[in-house]
Each structure stands twice: as C-alpha cells, then as structure tokens.
Chain A
Amino acid sequence: MLIKMIPELGHFALIIALLMAVVQTIMPLAGATTRRPLWMAYGHPMAVGQFLFIALAYLCLTTSYAVDDFSVANVANNSNSLLPWYYKLSAVWGNHEGSVLLWSLMLAGWGYAASRFSAGLPRDMIARVQGIMGFISVGFLLFILLTSNPFARLLPNVPHDGADLNPLLQDVGLIVHPPMLYMGYVGFSVVFAFAIAALLGGRLDAAWTRWARPWTNIAWAFLTVGIALGSWWAYYELGWGGWWFWDPVENASLLPWLTGTALIHSLAVTEKRGSFKSWTVLLAIFTFSLSLMGTFLVRSGVLTSVHAFANDPSRGLFILVLLAITVTLSLGIFALRAPRVSHHVSFSWLSRDALLLVNNILLVIMTVTILLGTLYPLILDSLGLGKISVGPPYFNALFVPLTVIMCIFMGLGPVARWKRMAPREVIGKLWLAGGAALTLGVVLPLIYRGEWNLWASLGIVAALWIVLPMMRDLVDKTRHGTTRLAGLRKLSLAYWGMVLGHLGIAVTIVGVAVVSNYASERTVRMAPGTTVEIAGYRFTMNELVSRRGANFIADTAVLDVHNIDSGRHFQMRPEKRFYLATGMPMTQVALRPGLLRDLYVAMGEDLKDGSWAMRIQYKPFVRWLWLGGLLMALGGVLAIIDKRYRRTQAAGHAQPASRQHIEAQEVTP
C-alpha cells in the first residue's frame, strides 16, 4: 500500500519543501534587516529541511523509475521495463520535469552547503545568503509544482509499458553530463547570493571576496567539467565527429562559463587590491542570470534540439518571468547599493591589475558576441521578422580572433606584478619564452605533418606562449629555496591552481588547432571486402552481422584496421541500432581513442545492395580538448583547497593587518 503512494509522498515532500523555502526567504532577510537573531536563526534549519525534503521527493521519483511504476506519466513517457537499471536511474533527469527537480535538489544542496560551511561569517551575512538562496528555491519549486509536476499520474488507464528513453540519451554521457553541468549552473547561485547579500548589508569589502572565491571556483570547475563532458558526448553520440556545433544550447552553457571565468579573475583583483568591486558584483549577477537564461532557453521549448524536452509555452513564460524578476531585482539592488564613493587604486599599464582588466573586457566581449548570435534569431522570430539561423562561421569569425588576443595577454598575466612593473623587466622575463614559442610553433607542425599550416602554427604558438612564461616564472620562484623541491613546496595551492587552469587552456587550444586543421574524413560506400585508406590506416570491411541487445537490434559492421606504419592490426565494430520500444534508429560509433589520435567509424545508411554508407574519420589530438577542460577544473579545485580559505572560514572575518588596511579605506553606504 505504502509503495503505491510513493509518488504522492514525493509530491507532498515538494510542497513541504516549498513552504520551508518561503520561510527561509522571509525570516532571515527580515531578521537581518531588523537585527533580530531569532528570526535570522530560522535560516539554517530551513535550509537543512528544504534539502532533506527535496531529496526525499527526488528519491521518490527515482524509486518510481526503479520499480517501473508506469502509472506515473513521467515514468511512462521516459522509461521502459527493458531499459537497463542504470539508465532507469538516470532517465530521471533525461526529461523536463525530472531535470528541473534535479536542478532544485542541487540548488537546495548548494544552499545547505553555503549555510553549513559559513560558520565564520557575520550572522547577518549568513542570514541574507540563506534568504536569497531560499528566494531562488521558491521560484523553482513553484515552477515544478505549478507547471512541471513530475509525479502526475496516468489514471485509471495505466500503460503496460513505458514509451522508452530517447535512444540518443541511452548512454553513459547521460549519467555524467547533466549532473555536472547543473552543479555548475546552480553553483553560481551561491556567489550570486553572496553578492546580493553583500550589497544589502553594505559589506562589499575584501572579506566577502574571500568568502565568495571558493564558491565561484567550485561552481566554475563543475561547469567546466559539464561542458567538456557535453562536448565529448556529442562527439561520439551524434556520429558526425564534431565536438562543438555552436548550437544555442551549447552557447547557453558557454555564456555563464565565460562570465564565470571573468568573475574568478576579477575576484582575484578585488581580494588582492581592493579595486573592481562593483564590477565583480555585477559579474556575479550576470553569471547567475546567464545560468538562468540558459535554463530558460533549454527548458522553454523555444529551441528545437535534443535538450529541449518541453514545448508547453506556460513553462517558458514562467522561467522568463523568473529570469526577469531576478535580473530586475538584483540590478535594482545593485543600482541602489553599489559603492557610491568608488575606491581608487591606481595601477600602471604594465601590471597584473591592467592585464586582468583586459582579460575581463575580452571575456565580456566574447560573451556579448555569443549572446547576440544566439538570441538574434530568437528575437527576429518572436517579432515575426522571419526565420533565420546564425551559423558556426559567425561564431568562429569572432571567437577565434578574440581568443588569440586573449592568449597574448595570458602569457603576460601570470608573470606580471601587481600595481606596476618596468617594461624592461617584462621583456627580460619573456624574450626567451616568446622566441621559443614562435620557433617551436613554426617547427612542430612541420615535424608532425611535413606540411606547414598557418592556423595550426598559430594555435601552437598561442599555447606555448601561455605555458612557457609560466614555466620560466616557476623557475624564478624556486630559485631562492634551499633546494628546488623545497622551493616548489613553498608555492601555494592557489598558485598551482592558476598554473593548472592556464595549462588546461593551452592544452585545449592545441587540441582545437590540431584537430581542426589536420583531421581527415572520408564518407564511402562499403561492402564486405571493400578497403579504404585514410591517414596511414587501412580499413577493410570484414563482414556485416546482426545482434540483439537488451532493448534494441543492431546491424554491426566488423572492420579490420591495419596501421600501415607499425603493422598493428585491430578490429572496430560500428553499429546501426534499432530501438524496439520507440522504433528509432541510432548510430553507435566505433572509436579507437588515443592521446595523439582518435579513429572514428560511423555507419551511415543501408544502401540496400549489401553495402553501407560509412563515415571514417581520423581525429588527431581530439582528446586534448577535454583533457584541457579536466585540467582547468582540477586547477579550480586546487585553488579551493588552499589553506588561506579554510583559515578565513575558521577565523571569521579576522583579517591580517594588511587586509584591514584596505578595508578601512572602503566607504560603503
């Protein structure tokens, strides 16, 4: 009996969570304004309770999936009794309702974490952060309960079996990509809450940047991994071998990443030098707003893509209103409360401050251009001015040159000093690295391929220009220790985080430059016995077989691959699957991954005369794209572990003398 009531239990749990979120919004915010500790004390228990009840609701939905309760519409539409258990569990977020529930669960989780690990903060600051997190949560829980109830039943006509999960989603990518991406999206809510709380409380000092930095880094690290996983998934799942399509949905995730990256850098300036304060707060607001906008684009059905499950206009409208409220309220608070007497910290043109300013400007320009290209067709369409699409050439034409300019400054940034630096010192530090980057950039493609390619060279020069000055700096920094090793140990984890982050960008750039310029692809007609040669590999189709999987039947091509140089042999088995429940065909790619190259074979279509159209690709250095993403995320995590932040949390706002000096200069109304 109880087991039959699980969906209702989940529904009730959501309603209780909503009520708790309402209390969490009102009491701490009111308490902080009227200075009542008892009211403020509501915040933490409500954050805990809200998290527990949303987790309970989530567990209920997952249970319904696990036990194949097809009386729940969500389960019936997105699962099937034949679906393997791990896809049943991840099918929960493979649809609109479930993914919004996951969003809310993560929001509550972040809210709980922010509340739990902020023991050292001033009480009113914690209360305000809790209140703002509660406010966002109210919005999303209302959204679920009013427009997207995952527990809606199909009674009394319960289907015998479910309609099955979209075959494109039946992949390990579904298990890892959405949770990571959401953790990133939602994680920026914490920084946002800190920024608004600081504005409300007039505490926009160096201390808040120290609290905000670890949260920014961790959210950014999750988002980085999420985007990298999404790119990797699209690469092998869609069967084209592309890794970035400038699809609006991809852009939606890249936008908060770009402003998030800018935020990380501007937080550094605000913490160390006390400048850029208002700008940092503004970036925090923009980053979270862009996360919300991404959710709107993906969840509203204005786009047609694998990601867009919903096409109920009321849902889109709801998120749009939520987005409008968030942006208007937060910009309003910013306009009223941002420091009016701005605090001038002068710096010269050749200083880390100036370079980070350039970094921020470039990242914002990138964000604006991508935003424009993404929204332009939607705006024209909604105004009835015609259906256009903005293709990848637009994005490449802007993003590539901007990235190159960014790389030039990235080489300088890590070695530059705060405040000012003599040009001679910069040249002295960099001439060797610059020369080496140029030479190697020109020579390496020649050695690698025997033919020179401008773009590949440019990419390698840019990557080396980022890495080599950092190496030089490492050598300089360890020179004075008793031994090099001791010198290396003295460097802070935050510094290593920066090094890894920049190294990650360089690795990704090498990947992009090489795979874009040296990849080869052939689309051919193949029958058993046909041989095709590509980039030093000989592919021979051996036979065509059929096999039956758990919930599909498949035509499998067995290809013998022969590496002409090394003489090694191996087999590749691409498949064309036909999923029984949905009747949908799906291409299962055969991959031979490697650090220096991927081999990629996809079955196209049955040409009915015993032959198949096949797409065979050679993708050099494609793994470097995602490897770079992982390095960046690892850098973000390392920077959080730095003991500087733990000390701050333990000791509260007790700051070293030098910080107090800066704080004393802040005048916040």
Chain B
Amino acid sequence: MTPKRRQKLLVILGCLVLAGLAVGLTLYALRANINLFFSPVQIAQGDAPVERTIRAGGMVKEGSVIRDPQSLDVEFQITDYVDELAVAYSGILPDLFREGQGVVVIGKLLANGQFMADKVLARHDENYMPPEVAQALEEAGYSAADYQAKAAEVGQRLEL
C-alpha cells in the first residue's frame, strides 16, 4: 500500500468509527429520552407506562387546586372533560397557571394512579384545549363538540 492509500484508508476508517460511535450514542440517548404524551383519557384506559417520564396534559379542573399551608406542595386535577388525572407537584407554578386553563405536566405516573410532576407548563390556547389533548381525544373517539362547549363555558366563567 502506498502511503497515500494508507492515509486514505485511515481517514475512511476513522470516519466510520466516529460515525458509528455517534450513531450508537444518538440512538441510545434518543431511546432513553423520548417523552411520550398522554391525555387523561388515555391514562384512564391504562395506555400510559408507570414509573417512566411521560408528559400529560389537559385543563386544570375548577376548584381542584389544593395548596399545603406549610410547604410548597400542591395538588390539582387535570381534565379533558372526559376523564381526570390527579397531579402532585412541589414548587412554583407558572405565572399563567390557572383553573380552567390548559397545562402540560412532565413527570411520572405512580402505580396508584397519581401523577408526580417534575415540571408544570402553562399552555394557554384560545380553543380552550392544548392541541395535544385535542388530538388525543379525537383519537380516543371523542369529537371536539363533546368537550369544547363545556371547556369554553368553564373558561369564560373563570376569566370573568
């Protein structure tokens, strides 16, 4: 092999090794870090895995927010106006968190059906339902008409 060829071979081999390493790491990291989204309906049906980081979303149910008087623990329910999901969180809720408003929570579902949230994101939407939830409802066979009137009514009542 001429030195030039050997150099070329080394370049190609080096690239292959690096690319292989990158692909391996990428796939591993992707698989471990994808957060799937579930709506309360899907969770009630038992579609969501337990003890894995997932995202869930819906509207904060009217009158469901309970603050612990001593600590920053808070419990609330999110609803898609079909099913409900109890969420526990400790810390500061976002500025736009309000009853009757859309939220997305990131955390783990416990075996007892409660959702331990690490993060709560307010998701304001003029259609009164986060788009992810609307889509999940549609897939579960509920049309927009089933919940939208109710959601709009609650939303408007609470905004006044």
Binding site for B on A (CB under 8 A): 304, 344, 346, 348-349, 357, 361-362, 365, 368-369, 372-373, 376, 386-391, 393-394, 397-398, 401-402, 523-525, 576, 584-587, 602, 604-605, 607-609, 613, 615
Contacts and interface: CB of A to CB of B under 8 A. Distances in A.
A309 to B, nearest CB: 14
Interface in B1-54: 3-4, 7, 10-11, 15, 18-19, 22, 25-26, 28-30, 32-37, 53
Contacts, number: 95
A585 B97 CA distance: 10
B37 A523 contact: no
A387 B57 CA distance: 12
Given A389-B35, A394-B29, A604 B93 contact: yes
Nearest to B133: A387
Given A349-B10, A604-B92, A376 B18 contact: no
B55 interface: yes
Contacts of A376: 30
Nearest to B7: A346
A386 B132 CA distance: 9
Contacts of A584: 95-96
Nearest to B132: A387
B30 A390 contact: yes
Given A346-B4, A401-B25, A609 B69 contact: yes
A585 B72 contact: no
Interface residues of B, number: 38
A615 B18 contact: no
Given A387-B132, A391-B35, A398 B26 contact: yes
27 contacts: A344-B4, A346-B3, A365-B19, A369-B22, A376-B30, A386-B36, A386-B37, A387-B37, A388-B35, A389-B35, A389-B37, A390-B30, A390-B34, A391-B35, A393-B32, A394-B29, A394-B34, A397-B32, A402-B22, A523-B72, A576-B95, A585-B96, A604-B92, A604-B93, A605-B92, A609-B69, A613-B91
Interface string B79-114: 000000000001111011100000000100000000
A401 B18 CA distance: 12
A608 B68 CA distance: 12
Contacts of B34: 388-390, 394
Nearest to A365: B22
Contacts of B71: 525
A19 B32 CA distance: 52
B92 A387 contact: no
Which 3 residue pairs spanning A and B have beta carbons closest together? A604-B92, A394-B33, A397-B29
A609 B37 CA distance: 36
A389 B93 contact: no
A613 B90 CA distance: 11
Contacts of A525: 70-72
Interface in B113-144: 123, 132, 135
Given A523-B90, A584-B95, A604-B93, 4 more contacts: A349-B7, A372-B30, A386-B37, A389-B55
Contacts of A524: 72
A525 B70 CA distance: 8
B95 A397 contact: no
Nearest to B92: A604
B36 A388 contact: yes
Contacts of B150: none
Nearest to A362: B18
A387 B135 CA distance: 9
A186 B34 CA distance: 33
Contacts of A365: 18-19, 22
A607 B66 CA distance: 11
Contacts of A402: 22
Contacts of A348: 7
B132 A373 contact: no
A605 B93 contact: yes
Contacts of A604: 72, 91-93
A376 B22 CA distance: 16
B65 to A, nearest CB: 11
Given A387-B132, A397-B29, A615 B15 contact: no
B23 to A, nearest CB: 9
Given A349-B10, A386-B37, A388-B34, A372 B26 contact: yes
Given A346-B4, A524-B72, A390 B33 contact: yes
B68 to A, nearest CB: 9
B19 A607 contact: no
A365 B16 CA distance: 12
Nearest to B57: A387
A353 B33 CA distance: 37
A397 B25 contact: yes
Contacts of A394: 29-30, 32-34
B134 to A, nearest CB: 11
Contacts of B22: 365, 368-369, 398, 402
A602 B95 CA distance: 12
B32 to A, nearest CB: 7
A257 B53 CA distance: 31
Given A349-B10, A398-B25, A398-B26, A585 B95 contact: yes
A33 B153 CA distance: 66
Contacts of A386: 36-37
B37 to A, nearest CB: 4
A587 B28 CA distance: 38
Contacts of A357: 11
A580 to B, nearest CB: 15
B19 to A, nearest CB: 7
A374 B154 CA distance: 35
